[in-house]
Homo-oligomer: A and B are copies of this chain.
């Protein structure tokens, strides 16, 4: 269990009993998606350009960054009919798998719909909240190698279930390459419009609106550093979801899961990109060694071996801990995006888990099942942000209005309290407004 053991697998090996465990874990977890001053100023220029010149700027930036030669926004716009064609053109196996996944995601998210509520007090005063959907949502879908149809489903279906009136999707098409699966997923998920735009210019179009692109109320979906910087800048003008870091998984095993299964679960995270993080934890040292052996043996058979190798070397870890309690403490400290509890009795641990994006329970629940089709959302808080944020959900596409309806009697009683407090804050118009409603 130390780095000095010669092995073909380049990955950090830690034990919670090591003197430098805390520091090494901290260093492994450290991640900052900082945009430097140069990125900042380029993004600001693009935002300003789109805001001031609308479609003309959009076409210009898109031609430059995506190496296209569009003459106008009509060449960068795809309507509902084009999306339907993409769906119908898919091989039947893919079409059915996509439809099955979409249906499961839809059913799960239907369970998330919060309702409006109210209650009436004894004097007739009514209090509550009215829940309504956003008018228009914007979905950012990365293009190129990271264009995932599953992400289209995961971002657009909750908006659709929430009752959003119009869903606008943007996806860049570098060198004109269009992903038919992505368009097919947009069709299934209820997307109304697709614009083949990306980067900060796509974010600007959604935030401010142009002659062609309608302004949206919220922008969701992952993107590169330009997209993340632009989202942070327009936050307030429009709503945004979390700014996503690289994807990560923490796998906990009690020693009884097939090491090959665990190795592949770790690889499925590591294959995303070089920054992705896969961490394995067990209190069974022999099991940790067996998982390591499986990883070494299976790695050369992987299609994306170079990416997995880089990811494991840079950010992966095999951690041996003392017992279950230490494993729980590690979970809550890391607040992982994906948590796999490969245990006989995962339910027993659940009440102790305070921070995790998604919890995959038991030996059969591979993260990959959740990524595609189990039903829950695969857009999850990364880099420890599960401490304060949630999976993307229907609630992200709804908002609430407080309802206050005072009866004459209720207003009279509340008026007295409000008057005292308002005068304590020297806000006398508040006080006098309340006092008008006090009965003599």
Contacts and interface: CB of A to CB of B under 8 A. Distances in A.
A407 to B, nearest CB: 7
B238 A404 contact: no
A434 interface: yes
A267 B421 contact: no
What is the copy number of this chain in the assembly?
2
A334 to B, nearest CB: 13
A369 B97 contact: no
A276 to B, nearest CB: 11
Given A235-B235, A264-B433, A430-B371, A217 B387 contact: yes
Given A235-B243, A389-B399, A420-B97, A407 B364 contact: yes
B93 A303 contact: no
A130 B376 CA distance: 12
A111 interface: yes
23 contacts: A93-B420, A94-B421, A112-B129, A132-B353, A149-B424, A150-B425, A218-B388, A264-B432, A264-B436, A267-B433, A271-B429, A302-B429, A303-B429, A353-B401, A356-B401, A362-B406, A366-B415, A366-B418, A366-B434, A366-B437, A369-B415, A372-B414, A372-B418
A272 B433 CA distance: 14
B268 A430 contact: yes
Interface in A374-414: 374-377, 380-381, 383, 385-391, 393, 395, 399-408, 410-411, 414
A62 B128 CA distance: 41
Contact of A365 (B114, B261, B381, B411): B411
Given A365-B405, A390-B399, A130 B359 contact: yes
A434 B369 contact: yes
Contacts of A371: 418, 422, 430
Nearest to A303: B428
A84 to B, nearest CB: 19
Nearest to A216: B388
A33 interface: yes
A126 B361 CA distance: 9
A50 interface: no
A242 interface: yes
Contacts of A360: 404-405
A437 to B, nearest CB: 5
Contact of A238 (B235, B268, B388, B401): B388
A436 B405 contact: no
Contact of A405 (B302, B303, B346): B346
A322 interface: no
Contacts of A400: 390-391, 393
A406 to B, nearest CB: 4
A157 to B, nearest CB: 14
A65 interface: no
| Pairs of residues from A and B, 3 with the lowest C-beta to C-beta distance, nearest first | A239-B388, A364-B411, A361-B405
Contacts of A401: 339, 353, 355-359, 386, 390-391
A95 to B, nearest CB: 10
Contacts of A390: 399-401
A369 B235 contact: no
B114 A402 contact: no
Given A134-B388, A350-B403, A358-B402, 4 more contacts: A238-B388, A268-B429, A358-B404, A369-B411
A171 interface: no
